[in-house]
Structure 1
Amino acid sequence: MTPLGQRIRELRRERGVSQKDMASAIGVSAAYLSALEHGHRGVPSWPMIQKIIGYFNVIWDDAEELQKLAEGSRPRVVVDTSGLSPAATQVANLLATAVGELSEAELLALGDQLREALARRKGA
């Protein structure tokens, strides 16, 4: 399941809406919506994200959260390290090998470390 899929499911359940009803309302099949929630579909297009935002009638911060979750919800990630340092290739391979073995807490901590490192680089 992707972060976006998890949030869509949470919003549907909070509002007591079935996949079938939501899918019909936003103009997709229930199978597509199920695949999106389970991480079997790629990141939806911006117009589709807007339909989801509109369907749940979310505004400002919640809409921005859905957009950010969509951006980080690619279920099949390919990391091309050609032209990068050997350390970059090593880290990419290590992550690919270990990601399924790490606990949820370890994954969250690693994500936080990466976000902090990127924020420091942008601020420098």
Structure 2
Amino acid sequence: MTPFGARLRALREQRGVKLADLASAVQVSSAYLSALEHGRRGRPSAGLVHQVNEFFGLIWDDAEELSRLARLSHPRVTLDTAGLSPEATEFANRLAATIRKLPPETIARLADALDAPP
């Protein structure tokens, strides 16, 4: 599941909106929305994010947060380490090989390290 997919599902559940009803309102298929929610499709377009924001009446910080999550929701990431140190390349490859096995608390610690000032 992607960050956008998780938030979209949470919004639907909080507001009692069926997948088919949201799909109809934003003029996409239920299968496409389901794939977005489950992380089987890439990040949604800015237009779709805008439509979802309008459907749920999200404004200001909530709308920006949904847009931010959409930008961070590509399920197949490509990382170019050309020109970086050998350690950076090794780290990227090790992370790619092991990310599915990492417990949530380890992922949270790595995310905290990325958010820390350099």
Give the equivalent residue in structure 2 for 1:84.
84
SS at 1:12's partner residue?
helix
Runs of 4+ with >6 A deviation: none
Letter in 2 for 1:98: T
- Stretches of structure 1 lacking an aligned partner (at least 5 in a row): none
Distance 1:108 1:70 in 2: 19
Q: 1:105, CA displacement in angstroms?
A: 1.4
Q: 5 Å matches for 1:65-80?
A: 65-80=65-80
Residue type at the aligned position of 1:58? L
What residue number does 1:6 align with? 6
CA displacement at 1:83 relative to structure 2: 2.2
Tell me, in whole angstroms, the C-alpha distance in 1 between the residues paired with 2:65 and 2:106.
22
Which is worse superposed, 30-39 or 93-102? 93-102
Matched residues, number: 118
**In structure 1, distance between residues paired with 2:45 and 2:23:** 15
Q: Distance in 2 between matches of 1:16 and 1:81?
A: 44
Determine what percentage of the aligned residue pairs are the same residue. 52
| 3-state SS in 1 of match to 2:101 | coil
Instruction: Report matched runs for 1:95-106 at 5 Å.
Output: 95-106=95-106
RMSD: 1.0
Question: What is the TM-score normalised by the length of structure 2?
Answer: 0.95
Q: Look up the match of 2:20.
A: 20
Please, what TM-score do these two structures have when normalized by structure 1?
0.91
Q: Gapped runs of 5+ residues in structure 2?
A: none
Q: 2:71, 2:115 → 1: CA distance?
A: 14
